[in-house]
Amino acid sequence: MNFVEKKILEEGRVEGEDILKVDSFLNHQIDVEFLNEIGKRFKELFKDQKVDKILTVEASGIAIACICAQYFNVPVVFAKKMDSKNLDKETYESEVYSFTKAKHYTIKISKRYLGRGENVLFIDDFLANGRAALGIKNIVDQAGANLVGIGIVIEKGFQEGRAILDDLGINLHSLAIIEKMEKGKISFKSL
């Protein structure tokens, strides 16, 4: 069992059939030591890729992406979900369906911070149905940048995200893949 799987078993809480709450270390309170190990692990997994920039989506992805970025020595750009008067007018935008909120939202990245030919690694906390990842892929394509990989802390392997990203030939690494969460009991797929 790896350190992410261990942490999930110790602190994760299953809600209903398909939601995992990890508020004690990732989504509300943040365990920085744990994130640091995640940063090291993603650096190992993507060591052969040229990475110019790490992309994520606000809010939960930001802390994870920032710690990873220290190992890659690159900046982080996070897609904005909330409307803000401060955001540049010139943006790349994509519509995303939120699995947890059961509604659509628009993610936006200023054209100033994503350029043609840049090699981009997308980092996020969860992979469920792959909608956030597809939204980011769409923005990266609009910019003429290259999506060199996707790093996910917790993948829910019983949802369709991986199949969709595999079909697109995306280089995907997850640190833990949940096979099922029946009656609150979590089991993992071997990596």
Residues forming contacts to ligand 5GP in the complex (CB under 6 A) are 19-22, 27, 60, 99-100, 124-132, 156, 161
CB of 50: closest distance to ligand 5GP in angstroms?
Answer: 25
Closest CB to ligand 5GP among residues 68, 128: 128
20 is in an annotated binding site: yes
CB of 58: closest distance to ligand 5GP in angstroms?
Answer: 10
Closest CB to ligand 5GP among residues 143, 154: 154
CA distance 35 to 151: 13
CB of 150: closest distance to ligand 5GP in angstroms?
Answer: 10
Pick from 154, 168, 120: which is nearest to 9 by CA?
154
Residue numbers in the known binding site for 5-phospho-alpha-D-ribose 1-diphosphate are 128-132
